[in-house]
Structure formats: C-alpha cells, structure tokens
Structure 1
Amino acid sequence: MSSHRITRSVLALAAAGLMAAAAAGPAQAADPVKYVNLGDSYSAGSGVLPLTSYNPVCLQSARNWAHDIASAKGYQLTDVSCGAAQTKDLRGSQYLGVAPQLDAVSADTDVVTITMGGNDNNTFIGAITACGTAAVATAGFGSPCKTLYGDTFTNAINNETYPALVQGLRDIKAKAPNAKVMISGYPWITPATGSCYPQLPIARGDVAYLHDLQTVLNSAVSRAAADTGATYVDLSKVSAGHDACQAPDVRWVEPAIFTTQLVPVHPNALGEQGMADAAVKQGRL
C-alpha cells in the first residue's frame, strides 16, 4: 500500500472517530459522592477553630473529621453535626432554628458519619462533671466518684443509650438505604491508669473508673452498629496514648485545665484528623 493511501486511511479513521464522539455528546463527569455528617460535639469538632457558617450555637468546626474526610476524598459534604446533640435530636429540633439532623439525609445520600451517645441522658458528660466535683473534695486522692455512683452510669448506658443508638441508626438506614453508614466510638479521654490532676481534675482512683465507663459507652456504640449493619469506627487502639493527660502535640483530646482551645475535654484538630483517618481506613472510603 502506498504512503498516500495509508495517510488517507488514517485521516478517514480519525474523522470517523471525531464524528462518533460528537454524536455521543460531551463526556459527563461522575456525580460527586453525597456525604452527610451527623452527631454531637465530637463529630462537630466543637472548640476547634475556625467555625463553619452553620448555626453558631452548634460550634461546628471547619476542621472537624467530616471536613477532613470530604477534603481528602473529594466528597460533597452536608454537615449538620451540632455540639451537645443527643440521639433524640436526629428526629427533633435541638435548638430553635436547627432542623432535625435526619432532615439532611435522603435516598440519594451515599455516605453518613456520626458520633452519638455521649450526651444521652447526660450520662457520660454528667459522669465527668460529677467525678470532677468529687475529686475536689478529696484533693485528687481516692476514688470518690466510684464510691458515690458505682454502676449508675454504666446501667444508664446499657439500658437507655444503647437502644436509643439502635433506633437512631435504623432511622438513618431507613432514610438512606443505600448509604454507607459509619458511627465512631469516642477517642480516649483518660489514660487507662495514672493521673494528671489537676490538668484533668479526676481523682487518681477514678481515672480507671472513667476509662472503664468510656469502654462501656464505646461498646454500646459498637453493638448498635453491629445490630443495624452500620460500620463501627474503632478508636480504642489508634487513640491510645493520645488522651487528655498527654503533651499538647500528642493528645487528641484537650484537658479541662491548660487547654489550648475553646471547649475543654473535646478533640482538638489533631484528634479530629485522627478520627478522619480511622474512618477512611476502617470504612474503606
């Protein structure tokens, strides 16, 4: 075949290809992953600046785990997490002007993340406050909180918080049946043993008591996830050694005294990033 005939053949094929492409129309970009973040202050990143333009009463951070995930993965984020939220606020309005969180979830939602349960019945936050008050009376010695409250907080988590979490996750699944739903445990607030009183004003003997209580809470979250087909983001290993008693550049959760951010006893930016990294890895995002 002559070089002229080869050239004409190549040009003819190229022209045919262009005509086919034109007939097919412009290439369509893939739809972005629609991602909704729900939950309480640990999900909202309350205390980490800067805040988003969402309702200021929620103290929602632009550097919370959801924003970290959305930035890393290119997801289209709708964030309705709000400080102090309880599971009941999934279905009801938490504050005037704040819609029920489930309103943000729909059938075309692809991914949902949430932390929830710590505020239910004021159980866990109430325990920290109660133990801090008890510690003052004993100057940080003994285990006054355990003596005063025993299994009270544990029973409330198992009997009330756990079923509320199950119902909340079922409600999410009902509104977004095809979504990957991921609920995170809470990063360690206290070390397993030892004390850093008064930085974390908990009596030495009550540090292990609160650590065990947080284990019960995370177990309730894990069981609720298993019961509803959600993915549990386990922070027990990755947040170990990053509790509120550690140095500022190590800890994921801020202490009550000498804190470096707006809201004490809550995750800092390092903690929110750690939560995001765990969610991406464990959820295979």
Structure 2
Amino acid sequence: MVKVVRTRIAAAFTTAITAGLVLAAAAPTQAAPSPGPYVAMGDSYSAGSGIVPLDPTVTPACARTTRNYPNLIADALGVEAFSDVTCGNADTQDFYESQYPSLTPQLDAVTRETKLVTLTIGGNNNDTLIKVISACMSAGTGTAGLGNPCETLYGDQFTNDILNKTYPAVKKALTDIHAKAPSAKVAILAYPQVMPEDNTNCFLTMPIAKGDVAYINNIEDTLNGVVERAAGETGTIFVDMRSSIGHDACKPIGVRWVEPAVWGTNFVPIHPNALGMQKMAEQALAAIG
C-alpha cells in the first residue's frame, strides 16, 4: 500500500526563507504538468463492480463504479486525459472484441500517446474465478462445510487451465498493450485475497468447506503467479496485493477488502468493496511511482 509522505521542510536560516520568498514572488507561476493520457483496462476487479454509484457513461452490464481504483489513481495523479474502459466479466478476449454491442474492444483505447495503463485481468479467462467459487460453494453446501469436496471433484483442473491457457493469454495482452503504447508505464494488479490465509472458514457468509479453503487459496496464488510471470516477461509493472492477506471476505466490515457471498455490502458479491478499491489504488500508486 502506498503511504503518502508529506515532507516537512524546516527553515534553518531566516535569510534563506526571505530570499526564497522574494524569488518566488518574482518568478511567474506555472501549473504542474498533468500526467499523460491514462487508460484503465480490465475486468470487474478493475471496474469496481458492485460499488455505487455506477458510472453513467457505460452500459449497466459492466457494473462499473466511479469509485474504482482507476478513478482514484486518476484523481491522485491529477490526470486530465483519462479513459476508463474497464467492464465487469471481461477477459483478455474483450481487449480485441466487443464485449457488449455498445462497447468497443478495450485495446482500442490505447494509443501511442498513452502514458499510463493499469489493469486487472485473467480471472475470467476460462471462467476461472466464477467456476472456482460457485463450484466450491455448491460442493461445500452439499457436505455442510465438511471435508474438501471441491478439491476432490476438480483436482488440478483449475490450476492447469490457469497455467496452460490464462498465462499465455495475459502475456499476449500485455505484449500488445506495450506495442500500442511503447512509451507508457503499464501496471497489472494482482487479485486481492478472497479466503483466509490461515484456512479458517466462515461458512454462513462463504459456504465453502473448511478443507477447500487452502485449495481455493492455491488456485488464486497460481492465478496471481502467472500474472506476475507475464508481467516480468513483458516489462510490465506487477502490483502485488499480498497486503490483502488478513482482509479477506471472512473478515468484518471495515477490515475486509473483499465482500462475501452472503450478507455483504456490495450488490456484486465476492468483489472488492470501496475500501478494497482504495487499497488497490494505493498499492498501484506506490508501484508506478
């Protein structure tokens, strides 16, 4: 997480202060230059799906909020030329094709003039996150939270898809972003922790069997691992979200960064809440400098 550091300038000599004030008064004032064009891309974890208010400039199907981490980054940097093309349920294919009739491919927003790109992507490739959570909740409900039924049913299916399909797709997307905007800083964010690291569970709000908590964590770690690998191989800034450990969906309001499946505050469950968006923005700002 980024920590905003305010530097305190202590005056040592009164004469030095006086001289500085005189020089400042004599020189014409200049506004700090705004950072170059900034394009925000990605899926629901970029769009802030489930947080209100919704962005009125995009189809409601994206469930994009004006309080997502891209907007927070743009505000913090004082960006004037800002394009947010994030959309819930997007995968890497939606960088090249229209996700909905009213949308253009996300990659179309990136140009040679773009100076900053941020994104979170990969979780919807092969429906990984959706499949994992829904499959494990269904399996966990069937065993009343006992055992590891999800791991028993699916084994390495999800991790194999991530390693063999998601990884090359994310790497290609990052390569193509750099090709379109060769002078841009490109930063890809990891997915925040959804389940507790200590393998405890909260069955009433996240109906997943206790034995499957570690299984889900391993799948998410694999996903973030291939995102980090693709970032390293393409000269992309990787924004680590390990700081989200201890702020998973099982924690109480005010502590958790991701909302649970049941009794959450977002209208889209198992997604970052407003606090989570803030923390993702802070971490990204620290990484991009």
TM over 0.5: yes
Once residues 71 and 43 of structure 2 are traced to their aligned partners in structure 1, the CA distance between those partners, rounded to angstroms, is: 15
- In 2, the alpha carbon distance for the partners of 1:137 and 1:35 equals 46
**Match for residue 206 of structure 1?**
212
* CA RMSD between the two structures: 1.6
Which SS does the other structure have where 1:251 is aligned?
Answer: coil
Which residue of structure 2 lines up, in the alignment, with residue 4 of structure 1? none
> For the structure 1 residues 48 and 28, does the alpha-carbon distance in structure 2 shift closer, same or farther, using more than 3 Å as the test?
closer
User: Using the alignment, how far apart are the partners of 2:180 and 2:167 within structure 1?
Assistant: 20
1:257 is the counterpart of 2:265? no
Q: What is residue 183 of structure 2 aligned with on the other side?
A: 178
Distance in 1, Cα, partners of 2:51 & 2:100? 21
Aligned with residue 278 of structure 1, among 279, 283, 288: 283
Assess if the C-alpha contact under 8 Å between 2:90 and 2:99 holds in 1: yes
- Structure 1 position 153 matched with structure 2 position 130: no
Specify the structure having the higher radius of gyration (Cα): 1
1:229 equivalent among 207, 210, 235 = 235
Deviations 1:258-277 (A, max 9, x none): 11111000000000000000
Q: Secondary structure at the match of 1:183?
A: strand
State how far apart, in whole Å, the 1-side matches of 2:109 and 2:35 are.
16
Deviations 1:184-219 (A, max 9, x none): 000000012111002111110001100111000000
Partners of 2:32 and 2:76 in 1: CA distance? 19
Letter in 1 for 2:95: L
Equivalent residue number for residue 3 of structure 1: none
- Residue of structure 1 in register with 2:77 after alignment: 73
Secondary structure class of the residue paired with 1:145 = helix
The correspondence for 2:40, drawn from 24, 37, 42, is 37
Distance 2:126 2:32 in 1: 46
> Structure 2 counterpart of 1:63, which letter?
R
For 2:110 and 2:63, locate their aligned partners in 1 and report how far apart those are by CA, in whole Å: 21
Q: What is the DSSP-based 3-state SS (H/G/I as helix, E as strand, rest coil) of the residue aligned with 2:188?
A: strand
Task: Please report how far the alpha carbon of residue 55 of structure 1 lies from its aligned counterpart in structure 2 after TM superposition.
Answer: 2.1
3-state DSSP of counterpart to 2:97:
coil
Q: How many percent identity over aligned positions?
A: 51
Indicate if the aligned counterparts of 1:140 and 1:198 stay in contact, CA closer than 8 A: no
Deviation at 1:30, TM superposition (A): 3.1
- Cα distance in 2, alignment partners of residues 283 and 203 from structure 1: 38
Where 1:254 maps in the other structure, the secondary structure is coil
User: Aligned partners of 2:146, 2:176: CA distance in 1, in Å?
Assistant: 44
For residue 9 of structure 2, what is the aligned residue in structure 1? none
Output the TM-score relative to the length of structure 2.
0.87
Report the 3-state secondary structure (helix = DSSP H, G, I; strand = E; otherwise coil) of the residue aligned with 1:146.
Answer: helix
- Native 8 Å contact 1:143 1:206 kept in 2: yes
CA deviation vs aligned residue, 1:113-149 (integer Å, no higher than 9, x gap):
0000000011222111100110111011100000000
In structure 2, the residue corresponding to 1:114 is in which secondary structure? strand
1:1-285 map, 5 Å: 30-53=33-56, 54-76=58-80, 77-192=82-197, 193-236=199-242, 238-284=243-289
CA distance in 2, matches of 1:257, 1:29: 46
CA distance, structure 2, for counterparts of residue 87 and residue 120 of structure 1: 7
| TM-score normalised per structure 1 | 0.89
> How far apart, in 2, do the equivalents of 1:75 and 1:207 lie?
40
User: How many pairs does the alignment contain?
Assistant: 261
Give the aligned residue type for 1:52.
D
CA change 1:29–1:211 in 2 (3 A) is closer
Alignment partners' CA distance in 2, 1:58 and 1:199: 25
1:14 matched to which residue of 2?
Answer: none
1:27, distance to aligned residue in structure 2 (A): 6.8
Q: Is the 8 A contact 1:124 1:153 kept in 2?
A: no
Shift of residue 29, structure 1, vs aligned partner: 7.0
SS in 2 for 1:51: coil
